[in-house]
Amino acid sequence: MFEGVSDHELLAGGVGDLVAENASAAARLARLLAFHERRLAEPADPLPLAGSRHHRLTPLQETIVEVGELWSLSPGQVRSDLQQAMTLSRSFPGVWELCLAGRLDGYRAGLIADAATRTSPRPTGRHSATGSPPG
């Protein structure tokens, strides 16, 4: 597969692959965040659906159910990814831009987001009002 390719070209190609992989992972998080923000923008209607005894899902629940099913992710993974995307995009826009450009991998970005959420106080109101999923 790589016959006739120099060592330098192999290594440089690997760097390019990593950048593309990082950018792709960040783009998926950005899509998740945009989808969730659309759920938050929908008018809240706590009344049960017509003919149903059950209340409507919250924006976070809708996001978790829809994204989890389509992307084959567990509810915990969707919640964690969403928390990371929200934290980085809102509190660390420079770090978020590095992720979107592929210059920072999701693991290191996740460490930053995790450290920030562990050291910042939790909101006391309903989580969907701020858009923050519960930890």
Residue by residue, DSSP assigns 58-70 as PHHHHHHHHHHHH
Tell me how crowded residue 110 is: count the other CB atoms within 10 A of its CB.
18
Whole domain around residue 96: which residue ranges?
7-42+57-120
- The CA distance from 34 to 82, in Å, is 10
Residue 20 lies in a domain: yes
Residue 35 lies in a domain: yes
- The CA distance from 99 to 48, in Å, is 40
**CA within 13 Å, CB half, 39:** 24
Query: Tens digit of pLDDT per residue, the chain (135 long)?
Result: 999 999 999 999 999 999 999 999 999 999 999 999 999 998 876 666 666 777 778 899 999 999 999 999 999 999 999 999 999 999 999 999 999 999 999 999 999 999 998 876 655 544 444 455 555
Residue 86 lies in a domain: yes
Residue 129 lies in a domain: no
- The CA distance from 31 to 90, in Å, is 15
Residue 133 lies in a domain: no
Residue 49 lies in a domain: no
Residue 128 lies in a domain: no
**How many domains is the chain built from?**
1
Residue 109 lies in a domain: yes
DSSP per residue, 1-14: --TT--HHHHHHHH
